[in-house]
């Protein structure tokens, strides 16, 4: 089995896609008017309109209801990324060091999902992510 992607179900597809294009600095591939993917070297972020839920099972997913998942992006310099994004996205917290060795900043996407940008700072964290 191969983990292929994470999909967000959203109300405003264009706004959410634009947000993640800004964060990742990558253009989305629009595979349909209601569905786009942002492909990164380590995974795919899929973004589907609430209209796509009916293709699976009506009511099985709800836009804007996420309060348990954090999308995390490994970046070379979390402080620089924070400065780049802080006036363009809702800030949850400024960069700070966490007990497991990452320096992390968090934002919310346009529909409320948590987005973390992090840089490993301890030797153990750097080893986990193959960073130097």
Domains detected in the chain: 1-59 (3.30.720.120), 66-132 (3.10.180.10)
23 closest CA partner among 102, 121, 114: 114
Q: What was the pLDDT predicted at 58?
A: 87
Q: What is the pLDDT of residues 55-114, one digit of tens each?
A: 889 889 999 998 899 999 999 999 999 999 999 999 999 999 999 999 999 999 999 999
Q: What is the model's pTM?
A: 0.93
What is the C-alpha separation between 88 and 3, in angstroms, rounded?
A: 30
Distance set, CA 61 to CA 16, 21, 53 (Å): 16, 23, 6
């Amino acid at each position: 089995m191969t983990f292929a992607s994470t999909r967000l179900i959203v109300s405003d597809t264009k706004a959410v896609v634009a947000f993640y294009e800004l964060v990742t600095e990558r253009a989305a591939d629009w595979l349909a008017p209601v569905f786009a993917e942002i492909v990164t070297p380590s995974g795919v972020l899929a973004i589907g309109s609430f209209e796509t839920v009916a293709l699976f099972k009506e009511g099985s997913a709800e836009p804007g209801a996420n309060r348990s998942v954090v999308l995390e992006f490994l970046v070379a310099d979390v402080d620089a990324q924070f400065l780049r994004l802080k006036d363009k996205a809702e800030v949850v917290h400024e960069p700070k060091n966490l007990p497991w060795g990452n320096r992390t900043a968090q934002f919310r996407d346009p529909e409320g999902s948590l987005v973390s940008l992090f840089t490993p700072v301890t030797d153990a964290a750097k080893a986990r992510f193959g960073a130097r």
